[in-house]
Amino acid sequence: MNMRVGSGFDVHAFGPGNVVMLGGVPVPWERGVVAHSDGDVLLHALTDALLGAAGLGDIGQHFPDTDPRWRGAASVQFVEHAVRLLAEAGWRVVNADLTLLAEAPRVNPVRARIVESVARCLGVTSQQVNLKATTTEKLGFLGRAEGLAAQAVVLIARS
Ligand code: MG
């Protein structure tokens, strides 16, 4: 079996608002994020991991933030588009492991919903998706809660 791995990373600054999109799930919080799209760091990192695994470049090449088509776009579309590109090349997702780096909002109350949402975008089962969360011990821009970041690792395979 032919297998490849990909990784992704994304950051967004907090800004005006009261909802943060995490893995396609709107999570109420005291701030929103500054972004051209819906600013979903988990799905942006995941999209880059998918594209990276398949050798298809990065999210900026496929969804330029200068393109009005993607203004306010639901990031679910980015992941689904990447999955389609992979499928066209014969790839399927084996598993995805996501890490949210943030002081807030807290992930525990919404973890299961995020995992389900991410799995749905990827067209896989919840057992193939893992979500971890960590703070940075109050250090740096994440520790000062100026924004949030996400990392993603994806394994893909084809016969
Ligand atoms: Mg982003």
* Tens digits of residue pLDDT in 101-126: 999 999 999 999 999 999 999 999 99
- Return the SS3 of 14: strand
Distance 87 CA to ligand 1 centre (A): 23
Residue 69 banded pLDDT, cuts 50, 70, 90: confident
Q: State residue 68's pLDDT score.
A: 84
Question: What's the order of all strands across the beta sheet hosting 129-134?
Answer: 32-33, 2-15, 147-158, 92-101, 129-134
Distance 39 CA to ligand 1 centre (A): 5
Q: Please, are residues 74 and 35 in contact by the beta-carbon 8 Å criterion?
A: no
Which CATH number, 3.30.1330.50, 3.50.50.60, 1.20.1270.10, 2.60.200.20, labels domain 3-158? Answer: 3.30.1330.50
Q: State residue 72's pLDDT score.
A: 75
Is residue 32 classed exposed, middle or buried when 0-12, 13-18 and 19+ CB atoms within 10 A define those classes?
Answer: middle
Distance 1 CA to ligand 1 centre (A): 32
Distance 25 CA to ligand 1 centre (A): 15
Q: State residue 66's pLDDT score.
A: 85
Q: Is the pLDDT of residue 84 over 90?
A: yes
Q: Is the pLDDT of residue 1 over 80?
A: no
Share of the chain above pLDDT 70, in %: 100
* Higher-scoring residue by pLDDT: 35, 79: 79
Distance 83 CA to ligand 1 centre (A): 18
| For the chain, domain boundaries | 3-158
Query: Rounded to two decimals, what is the model's pTM?
Result: 0.96
State mean pLDDT over 11-25.
Answer: 97
Q: State residue 116's pLDDT score.
A: 98
Residue 109 structure tokens:
């109350």
**Matching residue, tokens 């740096």:** 140
